[in-house]
């Protein structure tokens, strides 16, 4: 497999070590590979006011956009749990903002890997190109 993808899996697995998940105990790590080659990571951050929780994927994406990144090439999501992770609907749409399609790499606690795509997880999606004044240049 592509060396960059191996690195992406590894960085996502490292990221869940820093998850703040005292309520659900469900730790998630994510690593985004941007078109520039940069990788940004994130983990889930929960809150005593539960609804304020932010997923690992969104933290990883927003860390990249804060550095000026705008095009996602791939994202890896890793969990120590036995089942493969599944990005929530909100995170799928946030990823969609920065990629019409991209690879989504999944890693579970058994060390099993699976690659899917954004189009598979979010078919017929709505994105910035639908708007006359696209936010792509923002």
Q: Which residues bind ligand THU (CB under 6 A)?
A: 21, 24, 26, 28, 44, 46, 53, 55-57, 77, 85, 87-88, 91
CA distances from 129 to 22, 53, 99, 107, 125 (A): 39, 29, 11, 31, 11
Q: How far is the CB of 77 from ligand THU (least distance, A)?
A: 6
CA distances from 8 to 47, 61, 73 (A): 27, 14, 11
Which residue is catalytic, options 7, 57, 112, 120? Answer: 57
Of the pair 90, 136, the CB lying nearest ligand THU is at 90
Phi, psi of 133 (to 5 degrees): -100, 85
Query: How far apart, in whole angstroms, are the C-alpha atoms of residue 81 and residue 126?
Result: 31
Of the pair 6, 24, the CB lying nearest ligand THU is at 24
Q: How far is the CB of 119 from ligand THU (least distance, A)?
A: 18
57 flagged as catalytic: yes
Residue 42 token pair: 């994130």
Of the pair 22, 68, the CB lying nearest ligand THU is at 22
Q: How far is the CB of 101 from ligand THU (least distance, A)?
A: 19
Q: Using the 8-state DSSP alphabet, how is residue 85 labeled?
A: P
Active site residues: 57
């Amino acid at each position: 497999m592509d060396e960059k993808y191996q690195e992406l899996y590894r960085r996502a697995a490292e990221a869940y070590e820093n998850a703040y998940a005292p309520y659900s105990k469900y730790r998630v790590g994510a690593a985004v590979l941007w078109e520039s080659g940069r990788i940004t990571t994130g983990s889930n951050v929960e809150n005593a006011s539960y609804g304020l929780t932010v997923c690992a994927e969104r933290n990883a994406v927003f860390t990249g956009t804060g550095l000026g990144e705008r095009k996602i090439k791939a994202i890896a999501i890793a969990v120590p749990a036995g089942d493969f992770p599944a990005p929530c609907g909100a995170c799928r749409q946030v990823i969609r903002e920065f990629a019409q399609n991209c690879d989504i790499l999944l890693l579970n606690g058994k060390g099993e890997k699976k690659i899917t795509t954004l189009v598979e997880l979010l078919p017929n999606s709505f994105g910035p190109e639908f708007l006359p004044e696209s936010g792509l240049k923002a």
